[in-house]
Amino acid sequence: GEKAFYGCSSLKEVTIPESVTSIKSYTFSGCSSLTQVTIPESVTSIENYAFSSCSSLKEITIPESVTSIGNYAFENCTGLVKATINGSTTGDYTFSGCNTLKSVTMGNSVKNIGNSTFDSCEGLESVVIGSSVKEIGDYAFWFCTCLSDVTSLNPEPPTCASNSFSYVDTSTCTLTVPAGSMQAYASASVWKDFSNIEECNFDDDGNKTAAEYCGTPGISYENKHILFSCETEGATYHYTISCEDNCAETETTEGSVELSATYNISVYATAAGYQQSETATAKLYFFASDEEGEVDGISVPAETIGVVVTTDGNSISVSGLEDGEQVEAYSLSGVKLGSSTSRYGSATISTGNATGVVILRMGSQAIKVKL
């Protein structure tokens, strides 16, 4: 019952029998010599202050059967170094003031982390948050000033109070999340405050395993559409397109502005179970075709066409071409570097050891490309 062993300062070890289903309030509170406790799977609740001020307790494992952990249950266990929590939720101030606690692992059955659960655990260095955690309460990790490694196994960022990680140095603390979920965390409230977010795969026990990178996207142009492709199935593309003519509050005394009609494209890919890909870049150029069109015998202005140009340092690829169209590459000094005839709307020219700027010619059109 309540306070059954309260203040038993000589008690060193306890094995709780499997007939016990609840550890009542203050049952072992103040047992300052208690170093070891075994909690069986029969226990479903640990009530308020049950193990508070057990200052010699070094390690605690809470089984999955525990569906309720009371407030202040392990408060001021100042010798506690490691805690493994498999129960479904933690109470308020559960481990508050455990200033020697270094590592906490929460299993995948934990759904919520209560208010001030790890308040003032100043020695806490690493935390693993299980995949089922959906909510982290007010001041949950308040003043955990040594926290340097947080791992969250939930692909969807748990909802945090604005002060859940108050006084944690999020500029140096590393946040590790499941592969493919970096962007979700980087845009989620509170989680986005972490400067160092890494992706990783995990095994069933939450141990880190190497995650493959998502394939780097390809960029092409066809029928007035920019196309992205990726070898990784189910990839999502994150792209940015900007026009080189963008300007604001710019002045000119000449009364005219020459437009380049050039767009810069960058894109990376993400997919579940993969780390974010490298970023691919390309340029989209627009210019008039060589020939005017004709409708009912009447000449109409030449059609505007577009091509996407990508480089990899050793070659130049052009898409958006007509099949059979010839593309030639020249150095700035006029030396021909190579040529190619387009197939299926694309052509690739090897540039060898060329560096700097190359001139591409397509019919009467010419564009400069930086390798």
- Convert the pLDDT of each residue in 258-299 to its tens digit: 666 789 999 999 988 788 899 999 999 887 665 555 555 555
Beta bridge partners of 139: none
60, 36 Cβ separation under 8 angstroms = no
d(CA 358, CA 367): 8
Which segments of the chain have a pLDDT < 70? 247-248, 258-260, 288-303
d(CA 111, CA 129): 10
- pLDDT on residue 300: 47
- pLDDT on residue 296: 58
252, 235 Cβ separation under 8 angstroms = no
DSSP 278: P
- pLDDT on residue 99: 96
Counting Cα atoms < 13 Å in the Cβ hemisphere of 27 gives: 18
- Helices (DSSP H) in 180-229: which residue ranges? 182-186
d(CA 323, CA 28): 82
d(CA 100, CA 146): 11
d(CA 39, CA 50): 12
263, 282 Cβ separation under 8 angstroms = no
Average pLDDT, the chain: 91
Question: For the CA atoms of the chain, what is the radius of gyration?
Answer: 31
d(CA 129, CA 144): 15
